[in-house]
């Protein structure tokens, strides 16, 4: 069967370029439409700007009205006397008289959701029975403002509901002694009432509207979920904050908008209205139809060829780029469907061959590294004759007993048990309880060595005891904690060993209260090629975990200089078997 004829990508591009000769005809035919559209847009801009100014005036009226309410309240003698009457142990409670007083201020103010009064002892009263939060940061700000008000977003809690409000906050001071603070006032504005001012008056269908503060935080918009977030930089240009009002064209997420902005005095808040240009130019559709009637057929043909080009040429290229991204993330199990007989089809075929070969090579390297590590460990084990060592230690133990050196004999016995676990020639794995037994023997020796200046505590989740762990993985971490942490500090020290399950993983934490590690040293230990003994030990543990369980697992160091260090090891939880115990016992 003969080879398929290849249609070069170059010829496809040439054909597409020839079709683009229609563009000059479209430009000439579109001139009158663009001109008329600009006129319509300018008229719409002026009209929308007037609407935006009216909205700003309405909101400014509300802010000034609420500011006036706050001034009346902080100067209200009845409220002043009530707050002054509280002693150091009393808090504001739901006093009917005070509730009535607060309610009178907002009786006809639909835009006020509630008024909240808080005394100096932390007690509060809200006209809606809501729970307000005035944290230390807000109280410190009010203190710095020296009696002036501040506007900000705030949360109030009604039952299980969390309502977002715009709040005015200020101090309540003694009328007769303005230097004495009696409490705090917070007036919460309803988001829905604020939204009703601009709803259905701006933006239009598919449009956007935001009210933001000078820090670009969204104070009000159509979506409650967006309130409180910082406005994406794509939606706002520097000129919005450089001028009090104005407008400009912008392209956002592929859509073109007429962006209009206006400033609310004296808060500096910005009203930003995003009107789709498509809705502005909609009245000119009749002009457009008449103007482009002569080139309608050409546009249709051009569109069809453009769609063909996008589907047949660009889509496969985007697919290759997406799959290349998977390769960059070390996901080599990718494959691209091969269709057609042009250069892109050849490229897809070559890409599939490359990805398969990369996957094979990575697997080969991974296997080689595992075997290399296993060979190094076995070579080290072969250099030691454990039976000779055990018999010698046993002899020394009995000699010590005969000479009544019982403490020395006890240490020799502990050391013998330590070597029985550590030098056996098993499969490289053991059970957590066996590893814990090894650590306990190791710490008995270390405590004796440091004259009980080191205390040790192990907190172990019982579910992890029969889990499989890489042999001798915890002892180097504890040795580092002693040598590079507690010993450098001098005096007494403490080490915590914590072993627990987290989801499908088991986590080992070794925590000491030593001298800690500087951030630069941590960076070197976790990613470097430093060949110092400490770096080599930790790096070896990290590599053994990754080679055994995958790149998602390993070792992490967290430290505060002068306070201590925490080393965390994470691996998947694997249930151990009797074989792991037998392998440990064979060297005994």
On whether residue 152 sits in a domain, the answer given is yes
Report pLDDT for 530.
38
Report pLDDT for 532.
43
φ and ψ of 495, to 5 deg: -125, 130
> Could you give the CA distance from residue 36 to residue 284 in angstroms, rounded to a whole number?
7
Mean pLDDT value of segment 75-88: 85
Report pLDDT for 316.
73
On whether residue 328 sits in a domain, the answer given is no
Confidence of residue 280 (pLDDT cuts 50, 70, 90): confident
Report pLDDT for 285.
65
Confidence of residue 1 (pLDDT cuts 50, 70, 90): very low
Tokens of 450: 């440091």
pLDDT at 282 over 90: no
DSSP state of 333: -
Of 184-193, 345-354, 365-374, which one has max mean pLDDT?
184-193
Total residue count of the chain as it appears in this document: 588
| Residue 240 and residue 300 in contact, taking contact as beta carbons nearer than 8 Å | no
On whether residue 250 sits in a domain, the answer given is no
Sign of CA dihedral 162, 168, 170, 172: negative
Question: What is the per-residue burial (b if ≥16 Cβ within 10 Å, else e) of 98-135?
Answer: bbebbeebbeebebbbbbbbbbbeeebbbbeebebebe
Report pLDDT for 263.
93
For tokens 């820090």, what's the residue? 215
Give the residue, 326 or 153, on which the prediction is more confident. 153
CATH number of the domain encompassing residue 91? 3.30.450.20
Report pLDDT for 506.
95
pLDDT at 528 over 50: no
| Residue 458 and residue 444 in contact, taking contact as beta carbons nearer than 8 Å | no
Confidence of residue 371 (pLDDT cuts 50, 70, 90): low
On whether residue 289 sits in a domain, the answer given is no
pLDDT at 531 over 60: no
> Could you give the CA distance from residue 539 to residue 263 in angstroms, rounded to a whole number?
58
Please tell me the least confidently modeled range out of 3-12, 62-71, 75-84, 520-529. 3-12
Confidence of residue 272 (pLDDT cuts 50, 70, 90): very high
Mean pLDDT value of segment 91-120: 83
> Could you give the CA distance from residue 480 to residue 516 in angstroms, rounded to a whole number?
11
> Could you give the CA distance from residue 422 to residue 416 in angstroms, rounded to a whole number?
10
Give percent of the chain with pLDDT exceeding 90.
Answer: 23
Give the residue, 442 or 514, on which the prediction is more confident. 514
> Could you give the CA distance from residue 420 to residue 574 in angstroms, rounded to a whole number?
24
Judged by phi (left if over 0) then psi (alpha if -120 to 50, else beta), residue 331 lies in beta
> Could you give the CA distance from residue 332 to residue 335 in angstroms, rounded to a whole number?
9
Average pLDDT, the chain: 79
On whether residue 576 sits in a domain, the answer given is yes
> Could you give the CA distance from residue 155 to residue 157 in angstroms, rounded to a whole number?
7
Confidence of residue 567 (pLDDT cuts 50, 70, 90): very high
> Could you give the CA distance from residue 499 to residue 469 in angstroms, rounded to a whole number?
11
CA-atom Rg of the chain in angstroms: 38
Structural domains of the chain, count: 2
On whether residue 506 sits in a domain, the answer given is yes
- Domain end residue (candidates: 136, 158, 193): 193
pLDDT at 256 over 80: yes
On whether residue 199 sits in a domain, the answer given is no
- Domain end residue (candidates: 193, 219, 240): 193
Give the residue, 377 or 568, on which the prediction is more confident. 568
Report pLDDT for 512.
93
* Spatial CB neighbours of 200, under 8 Å, sequence gap ≥ 6: none
Please tell me the least confidently modeled range out of 180-184, 319-323, 503-507. 319-323
CATH number of the domain encompassing residue 550? 3.30.565.10
φ and ψ of 337, to 5 deg: -70, 135
Using CA atoms, how far residue 444 sits from 10, 473, 546, 567, in Å, is 78, 18, 31, 21
On whether residue 298 sits in a domain, the answer given is no
Of 359-363, 389-393, 505-509, 549-553, which one has max mean pLDDT?
505-509
Mean pLDDT value of segment 504-512: 94
Residue range of the domain that includes 537: 424-585
Please tell me the least confidently modeled range out of 104-113, 117-126, 298-307. 298-307
Counts of helices then strands in the chain (DSSP H, E)? 20, 18
* Beta strands in 190-323, from DSSP E residues, in sequence order: 208-212, 218-221, 245-252, 255-264, 269-276
Number of Cα atoms under 13 Å in the Cβ half of residue 564: 14
> Could you give the CA distance from residue 54 to residue 443 in angstroms, rounded to a whole number?
77
SS3 382: helix
For tokens 């103007």, what's the residue? 291
Identify which of 390, 395, 398, 397 has the alpha carbon closest to the alpha carbon of residue 418.
Answer: 390
Tokens of 465: 């005891």
For tokens 């710490």, what's the residue? 443
Paired strand residues for 247: 260
| Residue 208 and residue 279 in contact, taking contact as beta carbons nearer than 8 Å | no
What is the pTM for the complete model shown? 0.46
pLDDT at 217 over 70: yes
Report pLDDT for 283.
63
pLDDT at 119 over 90: no
Q: Could you report the per-residue pLDDT of 162-181, keeping only the tens digit for each?
A: 888 999 999 999 999 989 99
Report pLDDT for 587.
45
- Domain end residue (candidates: 193, 219, 252): 193
Give percent of the chain with pLDDT exceeding 70.
Answer: 71
Report pLDDT for 230.
92
* Spatial CB neighbours of 355, under 8 Å, sequence gap ≥ 6: 323, 327, 332, 333, 334, 335
């Amino acid at each position: 069967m003969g080879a398929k004829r290849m249609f070069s990508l170059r010829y496809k591009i040439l054909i597409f370029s020839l079709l683009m000769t229609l563009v000059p005809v479209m430009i000439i035919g579109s001139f009158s439409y663009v001109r008329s559209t600009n006129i319509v847009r300018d008229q719409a801009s002026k009209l929308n700007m007037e609407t935006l100014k009216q909205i700003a005036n309405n909101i400014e009226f509300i802010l000034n009205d609420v500011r006036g309410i706050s001034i009346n309240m902080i100067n209200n003698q009845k409220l002043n006397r009530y707050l002054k009457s509280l002693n150091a142990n009393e808090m504001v409670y739901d006093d009917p008289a005070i509730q009535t007083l607060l309610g009178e201020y907002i009786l006809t103010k639909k835009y006020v959701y509630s008024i909240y009064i808080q005394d100096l002892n932390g007690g509060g009263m809200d006209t809606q029975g809501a729970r307000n939060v005035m944290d230390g940061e807000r109280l410190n700000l009010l203190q710095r403002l020296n009696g002036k008000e501040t506007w900000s977003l705030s949360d109030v809690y009604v039952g299980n509901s969390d309502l977002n409000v715009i709040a005015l906050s200020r101090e309540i001071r003694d009328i007769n002694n303005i230097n004495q603070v009696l409490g705090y006032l917070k007036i919460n504005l309803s988001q829905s009432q604020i939204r009703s001012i601009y709803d259905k008056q701006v933006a239009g269908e598919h449009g956007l509207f935001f009210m933001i503060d000078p820090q670009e935080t969204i104070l009000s918009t159509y979506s409650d979920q967006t309130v409180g977030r910082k406005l994406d930089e794509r939606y706002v240009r520097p000129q919005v904050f450089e001028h009090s009002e104005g407008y400009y064209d912008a392209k956002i997420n592929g859509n073109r908008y007429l962006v209009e902005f206006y400033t609310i005095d004296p808060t500096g808040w910005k009203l930003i209205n995003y009107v789709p240009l498509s809705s502005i130019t909609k009245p000119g559709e009749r002009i457009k139809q008449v103007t482009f009637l002569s080139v309608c057929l050409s546009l249709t043909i051009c569109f069809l060829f453009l769609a063909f080009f996008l589907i047949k040429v660009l889509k496969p290229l985007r697919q290759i780029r997406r799959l290349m991204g998977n390769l960059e993330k070390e996901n080599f199990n990718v494959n691209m469907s091969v269709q057609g007989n042009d250069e892109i089809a050849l490229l897809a075929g070559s890409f599939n061959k490359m990805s398969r070969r990369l996957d094979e090579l990575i697997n080969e390297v991974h296997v080689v590294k595992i075997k290399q590590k296993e060979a190094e460990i076995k070579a080290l084990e072969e250099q030691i004759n454990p039976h000779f060592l055990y018999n010698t230690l046993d002899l020394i133990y009995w000699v010590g007993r005969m000479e009544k050196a019982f403490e020395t004999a006890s240490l020799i016995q502990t050391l013998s048990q330590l070597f029985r676990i550590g030098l056996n020639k098993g499969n490289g794995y053991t059970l957590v309880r066996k590893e814990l037994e090894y650590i306990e023997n190791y710490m008995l020796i270390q405590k004796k060595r440091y004259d009980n200046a080191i205390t040790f505590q192990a907190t172990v989740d019982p579910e992890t005891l029969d889990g499989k762990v890489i042999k001798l993985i915890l002892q180097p971490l504890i040795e580092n904690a002693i040598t590079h942490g507690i010993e450098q500090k001098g005096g007494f020290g403490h080490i915590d060993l914590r072993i627990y399950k987290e989801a499908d993983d088991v986590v080992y934490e070794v925590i000491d209260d030593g001298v800690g590690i500087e951030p630069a040293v941590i960076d070197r230990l976790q990613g470097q090629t430093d060949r110092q003994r400490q770096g080599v030990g930790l790096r070896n543990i990290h590599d053994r975990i990754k080679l055994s369980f995958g790149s998602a697992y390993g070792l992490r160091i967290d430290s505060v200089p002068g306070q201590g260090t925490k080393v965390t090891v994470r691996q998947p939880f694997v249930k151990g078997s009797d074989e792991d115990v037998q392998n440990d016992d064979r060297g005994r």
